[in-house]
Amino acid sequence: MNLIIVIVLCLLIVAMAVTAIMHKKLTISVLAAGVVSLLASVLYLLLAAPDVAMTEAAIGSGLSTIIFFYVLNKIRNVK
Amino acid sequence: MIRNFFILILVAAFATIFASLFLNYGSSETLTPLATYYAENGAAEVGAPNLVTSIVVTYRGFDTLGEVTILFVVASVIGFFLKKTKHNNEEPAKRESSEIIVTASKVLVPIIIVLGIYVFINGHLTPGGGFQGGSIVATAFIMLLMANPAFEINHRIVHAVESISGIGFVLMGVFGLLLAGGFLDNRFLPLGTFGNIFSAGAIPVIYSLIGLKVGSEMSNILSNFQAVQNEKM
């Protein structure tokens, strides 16, 4: 059961990473990169590393996504 | 043509590296000698139920000091480059935040801050610690910023908290050097009852200081990004 969840999570992470690279809209790409971190944190939790999972969820999917959006907004103003 | 050839060679090289890693992978059944030492003596020597914390704060305390220093350097470099210029800071926010975020932030911000403080105070008992707790506190700050883009933190307080906790962290290490076995040794305070919140020597103090430092640095980085948003380049 656990193995199935891990495999599904890994496939979702790969799908989200491909979305982040391929999508034409940068907003969607940034969100997809955030979702990769979120899914990775669930994966860490399943693999018995709660400390790393908390860091990944707070920094990877929270703070870095916000910082990407700030930078995106800044670049858009220049165009 | 020649460029594609180089790319092909690079991909093939990576394929061989990863193939050899994948084919030779075997899950290890026993702990390495170092891990065995930590697992057998960590709880008795340090007195923290969360073994990860006892490794991060005491056995590998120098690494943590280095990480905190890296974060400090990053925060100061960002603060240096994203300096708010004075002449056009009166530009108002372009639009109001949505009602949902404004209402939710009133309810959630105190809860998130309390959760962050809980995480770093209980770093030696439950998963989590200074870095995690500090970044949770910073996410509460993001929520405040999203609800009210004109919101500004009091820079003087944040800088004071950041400096005092940084100095306190190093002082704790020096106390360990003077009164106990070595730099960042936690045993200069009594170890207490195993599993209580006031136990494990100096670990709760050190982790709270790290949490405050990380939280204030992250908030500072975010407020720097926010401050230059409406500025024209």
Domain spans in chain A, listed from the N-terminal domain onward? 2-78
Query: Can you state the angle between helices A64-78 and A26-46, rounded to 10 degrees?
Result: 170
**Other CB atoms closer than 10 Å to residue B162's CB: what's the count?**
20
Distance from CA of A47 to the nearest CA of B (A): 14
Q: Which of B50, B81, B135, B224 to mutate to test the interface with A (most CBs of A within 10 A)?
A: B135
Which pLDDT value is given to residue B85?
Answer: 65
Q: Who wins on pLDDT, B196 or B65?
A: B65
- Give the separation between CA B196 and CA B192, rounded to whole angstroms: 7
Asked if residue B11 belongs to a domain, the reply is yes
Which pLDDT value is given to residue A37?
Answer: 92
- Of the pLDDT bands very low, low, confident and very high (cuts 50, 70, 90), residue B90 is low
The whole domain housing B179 covers: 2-227
Do residue B135 and residue A74 have CB atoms under 8 angstroms apart? Answer: no
- Give the separation between CA B225 and CA B231, rounded to whole angstroms: 11
Residues in chain A with CB shorter than 8 Å from the CB of B53 are 51
- Give the separation between CA B78 and CA B223, rounded to whole angstroms: 10
Distance from CA of A23 to the nearest CA of B (A): 23
* Residue B80 Cα distances to A75, B68, B76, B208, B221, angstroms: 19, 18, 6, 27, 11
- Of the pLDDT bands very low, low, confident and very high (cuts 50, 70, 90), residue A14 is very high
Q: Token pair of B192, please?
A: 């207490």
How many structural domains does chain B have?
Answer: 1
Residue B116 above 70 pLDDT? yes
Q: Mean pLDDT over residues A42-54, rounded?
A: 87
Nearest chain A residue (CA) to B129? A51
Name which of A58, A71, A73 is nearest B132 (Cβ-Cβ): A58
Name which of A54, A59, A70 is nearest B128 (Cβ-Cβ): A54
- Of the pLDDT bands very low, low, confident and very high (cuts 50, 70, 90), residue B17 is very high
**Predicted model pTM:** 0.80
Do residue A66 and residue B52 have CB atoms under 8 angstroms apart? Answer: no
The length of chain A, given as a count of residues: 79
- Give the separation between CA A64 and CA A72, rounded to whole angstroms: 12
Residues in chain A with CB shorter than 8 Å from the CB of B233 are 74, 77-78
- Of the pLDDT bands very low, low, confident and very high (cuts 50, 70, 90), residue A5 is confident
Asked if residue B232 belongs to a domain, the reply is no
Instruction: Render the burial of B176-192: b for 16+ CB within 10 Å, e for the rest.
Output: beeebeebbbbbebebe
* Residue B109 Cα distances to A25, B52, B136, B194, angstroms: 31, 28, 10, 33
- Give the separation between CA B216 and CA B218, rounded to whole angstroms: 6
Name which of B127, B225, B228 is nearest A67 (Cβ-Cβ): B225
Which pLDDT value is given to residue B22?
Answer: 85
Q: Say if residues B52 and A51 touch (Cβ distance below 8 Å).
A: yes
Residues in chain A with CB shorter than 8 Å from the CB of B227 are none
- Of the pLDDT bands very low, low, confident and very high (cuts 50, 70, 90), residue B14 is very high
Percent of chain B with pLDDT over 90: 9
The answer, for A58 touching chain B at a CB cutoff of 8 Å, is yes
Q: Mean pLDDT over residues B127-140, rounded?
A: 87
Amino acid in position B34: L
